[in-house]
Amino acid sequence: MFNVTFYIRRLHSICGIVPMGLFLLEHIMTNAEVLGGPQAFNEAIERIELIPHNIMLVIEIFGLAIPFLFHMLYGLYITLQAKNNPTQYGYARNWQFALQRWTAVFLFVFLIIHVVDLRIFTKGGGTPISYALLDQMFNNMGWFVLYLVGMIAAIFHFCNGVTTLCMTWGIAKGPRIQTFVSRVMMAVCVLLSVVTVVFMAAYKMQ
């Protein structure tokens, strides 16, 4: 019998790892250019702008927006069904399970704010993304904290999602390999989070 839920959940996990994961890593690498100074960051943005508008629009709609919406909406559906009990059991995976759901809710709101503010109102309104724009934006402590927390939440959600995918897809079978994958991805999470804190702090130091 064809199990619709099974395949929808597999599609949900793939949408989270491939387009959203690649988008997150691209964001981290591009934003890390600020460590080389304003000019290095602006040049990184200009390289992205070299992609023709029509091609970029197709990528944004079919490669990002549709997979994003599906992953987030179905993820919220899963979240509302989940039963989190980290304080009762206290196991690391149980906390990771709960945090995956909590960050899903937070990221749903954060990404809407991010896309509406920077992509639609700012860039769509004719103001190009630049170091000066973000430097002014992050002078506001509220925006700075929101984006810092948002980036770290996205990093955790992605890294823990990779672990979950390896388990549910049968890539990591057995408790030992699952523990190994989880520890590796949490190490990646810490590394990417440190990089994020460093490049975000650069806006306060330059």
The pLDDT value recorded for residue 13 is: 85
Of the candidate ranges 101-110, 146-155, 185-194, the one whose mean pLDDT is the lowest: 101-110
How buried is residue 164: exposed, middle or buried, by Cβ count under 10 Å (0-12/13-18/19+)? buried
Q: Where are the beta strands (DSSP E) in the chain?
A: none
Question: Tens digits of per-residue pLDDT, 48-91?
Answer: 888 898 898 898 888 888 998 898 888 888 777 766 555 554 56
Give the mean model confidence (pLDDT) for residues 158-186. 88
Q: What is the mean pLDDT of residues 162-183?
A: 86
Q: Which CATH number fits domain 4-205: 2.170.150.70, 1.10.287.70, 1.20.1300.10, 3.30.420.40?
A: 1.20.1300.10
CB atoms within 10 A of CB 189: 19
Boundaries of every domain in the chain: 4-205
| Contact partners, residue 78, CB within 8 Å, separation at least 6 | 9, 12, 101, 104
- Give the Cα-Cα-Cα angle 84, 91, 169 (nearest 5 degrees): 75
Q: How far apart are CA 123 and CA 119, in angstroms?
A: 5
The stretch 23-47 carries a mean pLDDT of 92
pLDDT digits (tens, 9 = 90+) for 104-153: 889 989 988 998 888 888 887 788 889 999 999 999 999 999 999 999 99
Any idea what the Cα angle at residue 72 is, between residues 70 and 74, rounded to 5°? 65
Residue-averaged pLDDT of the chain: 86
